[in-house]
Structure 1
Amino acid sequence: MTSHVAPPGSAAAPVPARASSTAPGDAERAALLAFLADDESEAAVQAGLADMMAGAQIRRGNVRTATRSLVSEPTPRILLVDISGIDDPIHALNELAAVCTPDVRVLVVGERSEVSFYRELTRELGVAEYIFKPLTRGNVASLFGPLVIPSGAKPVQRGGQVIAVCGARGGVGATTIAVNLALQLEATKGHIALLDLHLRGGTAAMMLGARVSNGLRVALEEPDRADALFLDRMAVTIQGRLRLIAAEEPFEAQIDPSPEAVSQLLELLRQRFSQIVVDLPMPPSSWERQVLAEARHSIVVFGPDLAGIRDAEATRRMMTSMSSSSQPILVLNRASMPGGLKLPLIIEGLGRRPDVVIPDLPRHLPRAANLGQSAGAGSAPLRKALAPITQEIFGVRAEAGGRSSLLRWLLAR
């Protein structure tokens, strides 16, 4: 009879291979020990659990590596193992169970996506959670995060997900990124909203050649008037299923919405749209901070200069402190522009590589903005550069062979 990876305290839990008299004390146990088979998964786990990684260890390997290691090491409180490429993952997990103490909480990542396989792992073997690859910081944070620190888990939001895009400083191209990201997301045939919260001097509508009303200001200042019908009237159709919600208020206008009004607007949008891309001013006001608090993904755009590096790190810290979601995605825009810092110096200044690098496109982007056209539609380099963000949001990757996929479309010339 094979043993099972049973839930903590279950009668079906296997007897550990080590005698209980030699079991380690709690002080010797790692809070989290992970065995991951590839760089991409390791990066996603580090980013998704960044605020929960104190006392954690990540090693290269898989479930069999974990079994060999834990024969002679203390069992961690939480064990994350990779079953990718394992011919008989169920047997491998049972072997792992035999060398662990019964109170360990096991998290698993792998390549199989069948619902039946997920149920077998979580219901029959007692695995706490399973995620199939490719991992993203978002699904790691939302699915593994509450299991790593259950008491600090944030209730799961229903409906669409909010994606906050902001520039570390003015003029770095955050609105360009937000606009073209929304257009790429629309290509997935989802219902997409682009919300421009630059109420005075915003340029999203101008970039898209759209005319907007004062509906956004009304929704923020008089939330009692905002309902699904009002939202339909103020949202401007751009193309397909992409809608723009924006304002063009005069510079002298005094606008002071409440965080509750912003939260209500986001809730309306989540009920109608699958993704809501928010072009957010930086630094945010008290009511704009509500967007960061509710964002599933946050994106920081910065330029290739010293001020950009400094402000990108400051913005990243601020956004991390406001949100319990995954770590912000750092986007270097206009890489290799004349006079800008080279990538090695930027990496040295940040202490890490930017998550996304967008090349300098000095002729194409301004021309598209002036004509009210999509820059990405005619620029394969921009689509290719934005593809990792889309992959992070959807958790998809290019398919092998001739099958079509989202990323194959994004990278097509």
Structure 2
Amino acid sequence: MRADRILPREVPDAARGGAIMSADRPALVVFVADEASEAAIRGGLGDVIGAQMRRGTVRTAVKVLEKETTPRVLIVDISGVDDPFAALDDLAGVCTPDVRVLVVGERTEIGFYRDITRNVGVHEYLHKPLTRDNVARLFAPHVQGGGDGGHDRGGQITAVCGAHGGVGATTIAVNLALELEEVTRSHVALLDLHLRGGAAAMMLGARVTSGLRVALEEPERVDSLFLDRVAVPISERVRLIAAEEPMEADVKPTEEGVRRILDMLRQRFNHVVVDVPMPPGPMERAVLQRARHVVLVMGPEVASIRDTVSMRKLVTATGSPGRVITVLNGLGRRGYLPIKLVAEGIGGPPEVVIPDLPRQLPRAANLGRPALKDSPPLRRALAQLTQEIAAVRTSTGQRSFLARLFGRGGN
């Protein structure tokens, strides 16, 4: 049985500085294959402002929504599609997590209905021939904003933190976000919570504003346009949310502020990668408590071994349900520990090992260019990390059917 999952994502044009989510996103877009079904949907839903009717199936929807903004409600036709679940998986790659998906098709079995609505995350399914009455009774509440709205369908949070300063946690977070986008075709948010002295923006050659600080300190001021104002396009599907406050700034982030930001990001992105400062305060603990994965970056040294053991205990103490993934960065660095001693010190081998890259990583950071582009060893290591996080088969370049569909209630 497949795990519960839902259809995410929208594709802005980063090259033109497109917004994460257009303020005038369509209220409803319908893709149906036949005229009779279209007539029943029109009659059952009545006049919906901003509605768009298009002829085609779920495959057509995938091609169109790769280039257009995700609507609030999407109706797709799976009639004649050999593998509707695979087609819905592809649709997951081009929609935001907050889209409400309704499906029409030809199959009438109750088992199929239960599977597609309970396990795939589709909000409702109707089999043909459609009637105006059934559309009005079962589809209209979802289009009007009612229906089954109680499920949590947001993206998953991955917290990246260093055992201590200087082990390369920000480098891992930045390049992991880019690798997740490339391998899973997901929309990815990179949230840098180092409000003073953060390096994510510098590594990406990006300019950020003070919007993140305001949102963290005064969450009541965060509105639906927050992401449009503060998120910086890095690539087609990656957005950076960061700040560069002066060292003398008296920054006072709140737990409520970070929770609100995470909730908003999870509704717009499939993956939220958070660069978490250590040691953690209330804000950082709130992130750890909601993370599905905690990537703990360490170096091949005694201090990292000590702090890694302590950090694992701390993550457990926060009540985080997330799995801790230990990344050893800089293996082979002259004068540092071999992997055998590191494994003995932390009670087992690290899940991911990155070799020492003394030229490539500093050069990339100074140029404001992601190291992933020029470092095959880093790419290979991050492919393994991406596989751990997103359940993708990176060796073949294929995506797992479960990888991009999020469980109800998951972070």
TM range (shorter): 0.5 to 0.7
Q: TM-score, normalised by structure 1?
A: 0.59
Equivalent runs, 1:192-231 vs 2, <5 Å:
192-231=188-227
Conserved 8 A contact 2:192-2:200: yes
1:194-222 Cα offsets, whole Å, 9 max, x none, are: 00000000000000000000000011111
Among residues 263, 286, 302, which one is paired with 2:259 in the alignment? 263
Partner of 1:326: 322
Aligned equivalent of 1:349: 345
Q: How does 1:101-140 map to 2 (within 5 A)?
A: none
Cα distance in 1, alignment partners of residues 277 and 388 from structure 2: 23
Cα distance, 1:157 vs. partner? 4.7
Residues of 2 paired with 1:225 and 1:382: CA distance? 39
Against the structure 1 CA distance between its residues 321 and 372, is the aligned structure 2 distance closer, same or farther, given a 3 Å change threshold?
A: same
Q: 1:190 aligns with which of 186, 189, 194?
A: 186
The answer to whether 1:181 aligns with 2:176 is yes
Please state how far the C-alpha of 1:248 moved relative to its aligned partner.
0.5
Q: Is the 8 A contact 2:201 2:208 kept in 1?
A: yes
Identity of aligned residues (%): 58
Paired with 1:156 and 1:358, the residues of 2 have a C-alpha distance of 38
* Change beyond 3 A, Cα 1:398–1:372: closer
1:53-92 correspondence runs (5 A): none
**Aligned partners of 1:169 and 1:282 also within 8 Å:** yes
Give the SS at the match of 2:393: coil
Structure 2: where are the runs of 5+ without partners? Answer: 1-84, 89-106, 120-149, 401-411
- Give the paired residue count: 260
Is 1:165 the counterpart of 2:156? The answer is no
Aligned-pair CA distance for 1:354: 0.4
Question: What SS is found at the alignment partner of 1:373?
Answer: coil
CA distance in 2 between counterparts of 1:377 and 1:406 reads: 21
Q: Is the 8 A contact 2:387 2:394 kept in 1?
A: no
CA contact (8 A) 1:294 1:323 kept: no
Query: 2: CA distance between counterparts of 1:398 and 1:261?
Result: 35
What per-residue deviation string (whole Å, max 9, x for no partner) do you get for residues 293-327 of structure 1? 11111110010000010001101110122134233
Partners of 1:156 and 1:327 in 2: how far apart?
23
TM-score, with length taken from structure 2: 0.60
- 3-state SS, counterpart of residue 358 of structure 1: strand
SS of equivalent residue, structure 1 residue 328:
strand
8 Å CA contact 1:320–1:327 kept in 2: the answer is: no
Q: Which has the higher contact order (CA 8 A, sep 6+)?
A: 2
1:405 and 2:404 aligned: no
- In structure 2, C-alpha distance between the alignment counterparts of 1:171 and 1:239, rounded to whole Å: 26
Aligned equivalents of 2:367 and 2:155: distance in 1? 31
Which of the two has higher C-alpha Rg?
A: 1
* Secondary structure, aligned partner of 1:277: strand
Kindly indicate whether the alpha-carbon contact (under 8 Å) linking 1:295 and 1:323 is maintained by their aligned counterparts in 2. no
Q: Which residue of 1 aligns with 2:42?
A: none
